[in-house]
Every structure is written in structure tokens, then in C-alpha cells.
Structure 1
Amino acid sequence: MIVAKLLLQRKQMVTFSEEIKRCENCQQKSQQTILNSYTTFGSPDLDLRPPSMERETIWMWIQHCPHCGYCSTHIQRPNEFKNDEQKKFDTACWQSLRGAWVCDDSINDDAARKCRLRTLELIDKCLEDGKTLGEQVAITECIQVDILRRIGEFDRALTIISTVLSIALILLQKPEPEEVIVKMLKFQRRLIEANDKRDYTISDAQKMEND
């Protein structure tokens, strides 16, 4: 595995171990790779995908049972991927979005699009349930906008950007979004005007404001 070789080359920055885990589904034991620590360099993407080195550990975020195919962040626990059924929409959103990141790395555009569409559905449920994807004001909308732009849903993305940046937030007595959120949304608007669906980082958004 290419990523595993890369991590071994950077063993001083990423540490992991091998442990035997019992599968919740079939009760069989298997060896699983456990991420212990990592060093992060650079800026997250606009959808908060972690920078290198953390993103290179994504293959360790999910454990897979080789006996029955059961998958979970911890295979000794009940399945966490039914979180949308259990109304844990915020957790389900992140799981679906991470699926899109894996598909991006595999250059599987169709699968990445499906994951992003699923994430958008879950974000809508999340907001309806009064939950968000983070503590920062409008961070959920920020992620939502990036997903929409990446799949070419420019009009809907622009509507959300206008809403967040408008006086409506004040009229609704909501706190104003932080400066970095405002910069990210303005950068997204510029990308949409250029019909740009590529991935960018938060650092890219901040550089634009400083130009």
C-alpha cells in the first residue's frame, strides 16, 4: 500500500500500532492498524479536509473485518454507519464527507459526487434537527457551500453565501460569522463566478483577501 509506505518513511511524524480486535458482527478476531499520533502541516481544505500528514492517515480511520466485511471506526462496537437512522446527523455527515475524500484520492469522480450528494441530504437533516458541524457560526453553511460548488450546484451555493453574508443574520439576532468564515465564503463566490469546481484550502481564501 502506497500510503503505508509513505507513513513508514515519515515514522517520526506519524505513529501507529497493530492490535487484535474482535468483530462486533461475527465475533472473529483480526489485526487492525491503530493511529496513535500524527503531525499536521499546512491548511485544511475549504470543506475542512485535514492537511497533510493527517489526511494521509485516512485509511486508518475505518476498521474492516476481513472475515465478514463489517466496517466501523471501532469494529468491536456496534455499527456507527446507521447514524442517520439514529438521528446522529452531524456524525453521519462527517462519515459521508470522508467517503468523498477517499473517492477524490482514488480519482473516482462519480462516487465522490454521490458521497457529496448524500452529505448534502444529511446536512439538511442536521440543520432541521438543530445541529451543526462545528461550534463556529456558519461553519456548517461553509461546508455546505463547498460541497455544492464542487458538484456544480452554483446557484444554490450562491444563495447560501448571500444569506450568510447578508443583514438577515443580524435581523434574526444571530451572532455574526468569524472573519475567516467571511473570507472563505467570499472566496467561494469568486470561484463560482469563474465556474471553478476544484479543491482549495482555507489558506488560499486568506491569500485572496490579502492580494
Structure 2
Amino acid sequence: MTTVGQTSVTCAVCGRESRQRAVRGGGPAGPPDLDLRPGETTRSTMAYWLQQCPTCGYAAPRLDEATPAAAAVVAGGPYRALLAETSYPPLARRFLCRAMILEETGELHAAAEATLQAAWVADDMRKPDLAREWRLTAVALFRQGPAPDLEQQVRIVDILRRAGDFGAAAAQASALERGHLPEPVDRVVAFERKLIAAGDARAYSVASALPPPAARPHASQRGPATGLPLMRPVSGGGLFAVLRRLFRRR
């Protein structure tokens, strides 16, 4: 059972106290999407993954924790401009604020994840242009950081496909296929290949890549702390762990 509560948190950047919502508990989550957006019930808790200070705008999993470098980013002009960008959905802007802090402090892969989460919000808000822009930014951040591992490279295929950049997605898939892909990862890449060839930019769950059952779209585009532990997105150990669990059921 998922419950929502509030707790008082003191911001580590500005020292102001605010009430923050958090959830605890939760039902079982279904298979994630191919880009690792978690299934329900976890995907409906995105509003609780980050806290944001209403005074200075600092965004983090916990407002009571911040490094001096993060505080410097929050005080900077680009961060202040992002906070004032009203054309972005507020929840997406929160993830982008977190992404900016992470990027500026050198955590590029984590910044990519936060940017991708902003794209998920754009999906839900029916803002495809923003979702595409933020997916492409996420890919750039993955590639600017340390060399992406195999799991990240497989996810990049899906992120590019979802952004409608089928040529880049196909090139990424080809690069993967030139190496040895373990089973069932090879099935996921083959499935992505079929979607790319069909010009299909819809969301699919990981389970769709391992038939049976037949592949079906997974509608990620449908509309809509101390004291309480903050709900975090959970991928169950990442894409490969999810694949292994599903593959064992076949």
C-alpha cells in the first residue's frame, strides 16, 4: 500500500525549512519500459522522487544534503534562468534542475538519467517536442561522460528511437551487433531493430521484447526527507537484471 505524507526538511543550500511530500510503501511494479522507466505502481510516484526548496529552488533526493559545488550551481545565472522557464512542465523543470546540478558537478551519467526523467514527464504532458529534445540531451550526456557500458548502450538505442532519430538508433544498434551480445540482450536489440525499421517511436516494455506474449505498445504517453523515506525510481538492478528475471520465466 502506498501512503503519502509530509515532513519538514531544512534546505542545505539556503537554510530555509519547508514541508515536503514523500511516499512510502507501494504495490508491485510491472516490467519497466526499454529505457528503464519503471512500471506501475512506481511510475506514478515521479512527483516524489525529488524534493525542491520553494525558497532557493535547490532540487535533490534530499534537501538536507548538498555539497558546496551544488550550492554554487544553484546560485548561478543558468540555474536561476531554468527556474524561471515557465514553458516547461513544473515537474520536468525539477528534474532538469537536478540534471544541471549533476552536469555542472561532473556527474554526467546521473545528469543523463535526470534529463531522461524530464522527458518521461513531457511524454505524460503530451509535449513531444520537449520529450525529443530532452532525450537527445540525455544521449549526449551519456556519451560525454565515461564510456557507456553495455547496458547504457542498449538503452541509448531505445532513447534515440523514442526521440524519432531512427538513423542514429540504427547506427547504435549496428555498433552493438558487431560485438557479442549475451542472451537475451540480443533479443532486445533485434526487437529494437524491427521497431526502427517500422519507424515506430512508441514506448514498449522490456517484456515486449521477449515474446510470448506478442509485442504490444506500453502507453507511457497516457495522461495522467526525514521522517518519511522518499520513494526512489527502482529498476530492480538495471536492464540486464530485469531481462534475466523475465527470461527465466520463458
TM bucket normalised to smaller: 0.7 to 0.9
Task: Give yes or no for contact 1:96–1:118 (8 Å, CA) kept in 2.
Answer: yes
- After TM superposition, the score normalised by the length of structure 2 is 0.68
Name which of 22, 37, 59 aligns with 1:71.
Answer: 59
Write the distance in 2 (CA, Å) between the matches of 1:37 and 1:209. 30
- Secondary structure of 2:43's partner? helix
The verdict on how the C-alpha distance between 1:32 and 1:120 changes in structure 2, with shifts beyond 3 A counting, is same
- The answer to whether structure 1 residue 121 and structure 2 residue 140 are counterparts is yes
Paired residue for 1:196? 200
- Provide the residue aligned with 2:17 in structure 1: 29
The one-letter amino acid paired with 2:63 is I
Q: Aligned-pair distance for 1:193?
A: 0.8
CA displacement, residues 110-163 of structure 1 (integer Å, 9 cap, x when unaligned): 22112111101101112xx2454xxxxx21111111111112211121122122
Structure 1 residues 63 and 146: CA distance shift in structure 2, 3 A: same
SS of alignment partner, residue 207 of structure 1: coil
Partners of 1:178 and 1:35 in 2: CA distance: 37
CA deviation vs aligned residue, 1:15-64 (integer Å, no higher than 9, x gap): 34321001123211111112323223321101010000000001000112
Q: Which moved more, 1:17-26 or 1:201-210?
A: 201-210
Are 2:205 and 1:186 equivalent residues in the alignment?
A: no
- In the TM superposition, residue 180 of structure 1 has moved relative to its aligned partner by 2.7
- CA shift at 1:210, angstroms? 7.1
Trace 1:100-179 onto structure 2 (pairs within 5 A). Answer: 100-126=119-145, 129-130=146-147, 132=149, 138-166=150-178, 169=179, 176-179=180-183
Shift of 1:76: 1.7
3-state SS of 1:35 partner: strand
Q: Which one of 46, 55, 63 corresponds to residue 58 of structure 1?
A: 46
Q: Distance in 2 between matches of 1:123 and 1:113?
A: 15
SS of the aligned residue for 1:84 comes to: helix
- Whole-Å separation in 2 of the counterparts to 1:162 and 1:209: 26
Q: Equivalences for 1:37-52 in 2 at 5 Å?
A: 37-52=25-40
Gaps of 5+ in 2: 71-97, 216-250
Q: Which segments of 5 or more consecutive residues in structure 1 lack a partner in the other structure? A: 1-11, 133-137, 170-175
Matched residue count: 184
Q: Which digits, 9 at most, give the CA deviation of each residue in 1:61-107, with x for residues without a partner?
A: 01122233332221222245422222212211111111111111111
Check the 8 A contact 1:187/1:208 in 2, yes or no: no
* Structure possessing the higher relative contact order (Cα contacts under 8 Å, 6 or more residues apart): 2
What residue is the counterpart of 2:219 in the other structure?
none
TM, length-normalised to structure 1: 0.79
Pairing 1:99–2:111 present: no
Residue 208 of structure 1 deviates from its aligned partner by 6.4
- CA–CA separation in structure 2 for the residues paired with 1:131 and 1:152: 21
Distance 1:191 1:96, change over 3 A: same
CA distance in 2, matches of 1:57, 1:159: 34
